[in-house]
Structure 1
Amino acid sequence: MLMQEQSTKTFIDSLLKTHERVVQLSHLNATLCSVFMEVLLKNQPEGVQVSVTEQTEADFNARFKTRPELEGLMAQIKK
């Protein structure tokens, strides 16, 4: 937000969006985990935060866009 000179009104100068990058690993050896994390942390862009979590079904489903028209058609088929 920026404020105009000699005014109390503010306006939006830019809009920052956040993005998420998901890296899914399976069967990672404990010895390679430290090397992988070191490479990941050294090459991350400025301002990017890293979080390491075990993936849940909700996380998996959140990656996909919803398609209301398809869900409506599927509901009609099931009737």
Structure 2
Amino acid sequence: MAKPKLEIFQETSPSGNTYLIYRYFDDKNDNYEYQTYKLVQSKSVAREFGISDKIDGRKSTLNSREMCNLLIEEIEKK
């Protein structure tokens, strides 16, 4: 069976941070390369890009899915 070119691992550190670790095989250099991503709260990321959790006329605040939908809509407009 062929070895996959990309593997994705998820691990939580002893301090409680969760990471996605991408390991992929680089044919040109004949070795593995790595990219590591720290998982963070979606709402804080949406806020960083200027997405508000409030909409005029709505009593409740937006949840993270709604905020991320608005963020993706803004990205797709670019």
Fold shared, TM-score > 0.5 on shorter chain = no
Which entry has the higher C-alpha Rg, 1 or 2?
Answer: 1
Task: Please state which structure has a larger fraction of its residues in helix.
Answer: 1
Task: Please state which structure has a larger fraction of its residues in strand.
Answer: 2
Higher relative CO (CA 8 A, sep ≥ 6), structure 1 or 2? 2
